[in-house]
Structure 1
Amino acid sequence: MKKLLFPLFAAISMGLSGCSSLQSLSNYLSEADAAMAIKDALTIGANLGANSLGQKNSFSREVLLAAVLPQGAQQVINTLDKLGLATEFNRFANTLDDAAVNATLKSAPIFVDGIRRMSIRDAITIVKNGGTAATDYLRNKIGDSLRNAVTPVMRTALNEYNIIPQWDKLVGPAKLLLGSKASLNLDLDHILAVMLTNEMFKKIEQQEINIRTNASARTTSSLQRVFGRDWNTSGTTTR
C-alpha cells in the first residue's frame, strides 16, 4: 500500500510545484516581453494616428501655417491680404491639407516597419517609467530616419497636387514687398514631412497613455500582460 501511495504523493507534489513555478513566472517581466509589448503599443498608435490624420481637414490651417511660415507668419499673411491674395492663400492651405493627408496614409507603413525593426534596449525601464516613455524612445531612436523616409512621400504628394508652383506664385509678391523681413520656407517637402511626423508622434503618445491607463485599449495578449499591472512593485528578470 505504501508503494502505491508514494508515487501518488510524488505526482501531487510535482503538480503543486509546477503550479508554483508557473505562478512565479507570471510575476516576472522579461526584456523580451517588455520589448514586444512596447512595439505592439507603438504600432497600434501609428496605425490609429494614420487613420486619424488621414482624414480631410486633419491638419488645421494654424498647423500648416506654423510649418511653412515659422517666423513672421502674420506679417506675410497680412501682406497677402493687402494684395488681395487671402482667398488664394486659403485655397492653397486646403490643397496643402489634401497633400498632407495623402502623404500620411502612405507613410503609415514606414512608421510600422520602423517600429518593428527597431532594437529596444532597457525595455523594462521603458515600461516602468510610464507616461510616454515608449514614444519618447521611438522619437529619439529613429525619429530622424522616419522623417527622412517620409520626405520623398511628401514630395510625391506635393507634386501630385501641384503645390510647389502654387506656393511660389502665392508668396512671390509678399517676398518682393517684405524682402529680407519675410522668413519663408521653400523646402516644403522636408518641412511638411517634419510636421507630419511630429503630428504622428502626438497621436502615438496619446495611444500609449491610453494603453497604459485603459484596460480596454490593451488589445493583444502582450499588452495585457505587460501593461496590465504595476511592475514597479513586481519582479522583473532578464531571462
Structure 2
Amino acid sequence: MTTNRRQILLSGAALFALALPGCQSMPTFSLTEAIRRLLTLASQNAFALLLQPGGFYDSSVARISLPDRFGGERGAGILSVVLQSRQFRDRLQRQLNRAAEKGAERAAPLVADAVRNISIEDADALVRGGPQAATAFLRGKMGPALLESMVPGISDGLRLFDDQVIGQAVRSVTGFDIAALAQDISRKADDSIWAAIGLEESAIRADPQKTNDPLLMGVFGLLK
C-alpha cells in the first residue's frame, strides 16, 4: 500500500471510529456526512448519464418501456395496425424516452435539495446496509415528490418531440390521452431514476477508491 493511500485510509478509519457507538468523546457527524456524500455522488453520476441525449433509452436499467396499452415490450394483445409495426413501436419508444429526459431535468435539483436537507436518523445502519440501502432510504423519505415533479416536464416533452407519432399512438387506443400517457411515463421514469441512482451507489460501495473522496474511501473501504 502506498504512503498516500495508507494515510487516506487511516484518516477515514479515524473518522469511522468517531461515529461508532460507544465513542462518545468526539463528534459523531462523519457517518452522516458519508451517506450524504454517497447519495450526492450517486445521484450526480446517475443524472449525468440520464440527461445525455438518449440517456434513458441507452441505459440498461432506465429505458422506459412502452405502456401496456401500447402492447408493452412484446406488443402482445389486440393492437391497432399502427402499433403492430415494429418500426413504429421503436420510434415511439424513443420519443417516450426523450420525454422522460424532460422530466428528469426537473427531478435532478429536487434530489439534490433532498440530499442536503434530509434527516438521517441511523447513518450507521445505512453505511453497513445493502448495496443500495441509502438510495432506498432517500426514496422512502421523498415519497411521490419526484414523480409529481416530473409530470409537467414529461407532458411538455410528449408535445414537443415528434407529436405526430405520439398522437397517432394515443389515437389508436380507446380512452388513452396525453395526460394518461404522461402519468404512465412519469411512473416509469421515477422507477428508472431510482434504479440508476441505486446502481451508482452500488458501484461506489464496491470500489470507493474511484471516488477520490477520503471520507468515502475510508468509511466504505473499511467495510470491504
TM (norm. structure 2) is: 0.72
Deviation by residue 1:152-203 (Cα, 9 ceiling, x = unmatched): 232232233364x75343243343xxx9xxx999522232222222112112
For the pair shown, the structure with the greater C-alpha radius of gyration is: 1
Q: Does residue 36 of structure 1 match 2:33?
A: yes
Q: Which moved more, 1:133-142 or 1:53-62?
A: 53-62
Corresponding letter in the other structure for 1:220: D
Corresponding letter in the other structure for 2:110: I
| 1:1-150 equivalence runs, <5 A | 27-29=17-19, 31-60=28-57, 63-66=63-66, 68-69=67-68, 73=72, 74-75=75-76, 79-81=79-81, 86-150=86-150
Aligned to 1:156: 156
Distance 2:149 2:107 in 1: 8
Question: Counterpart of 2:171 in 1: which secondary structure?
Answer: helix
Q: Which moved more, 1:97-106 or 1:130-139?
A: 97-106
Q: CA deviation at 1:28?
A: 2.7
Deviation by residue 1:194-215 (Cα, 9 ceiling, x = unmatched): 2222112112112212222213
Change (3 A) 1:159 1:35: farther
Change (3 A) 1:59 1:83: closer
Aligned to 2:183: 190
Answer yes or no: is the 8 Å Cα contact 1:154–1:193 preserved in 2: yes
Q: Does residue 207 of structure 1 match 2:182?
A: no
Higher helix share: 1
Q: How high is the sequence identity, in percent, across the aligned residues?
A: 22
Aligned to 1:8: none
Corresponding letter in the other structure for 1:29: A
Distance 1:140 1:226 in 2: 24
Change (3 A) 1:153 1:110: farther
Change (3 A) 1:218 1:58: closer
Change (3 A) 1:208 1:151: same
Q: CA deviation at 1:219?
A: 3.2
Deviation by residue 1:102-158 (Cα, 9 ceiling, x = unmatched): 332443222211221211111111112242111111121113112222222322322
Distance 1:89 1:126 in 2: 41
Answer yes or no: is the 8 Å Cα contact 1:132–1:208 preserved in 2: yes
Aligned length: 200
Question: Counterpart of 2:137 in 1: which secondary structure?
Answer: helix
Gaps of 5+ in 1: 1-22, 232-239
Question: Counterpart of 2:52 in 1: which secondary structure?
Answer: coil
Aligned to 2:25: none
Distance 1:64 1:200 in 2: 10
Distance 1:216 1:24 in 2: 17
Distance 1:25 1:173 in 2: 60
**How well do the aligned residues superpose, as a CA RMSD in angstroms?**
3.4
TM (norm. structure 1) is: 0.68
Change (3 A) 1:145 1:96: same
Answer yes or no: is the 8 Å Cα contact 2:99–2:158 preserved in 1: yes
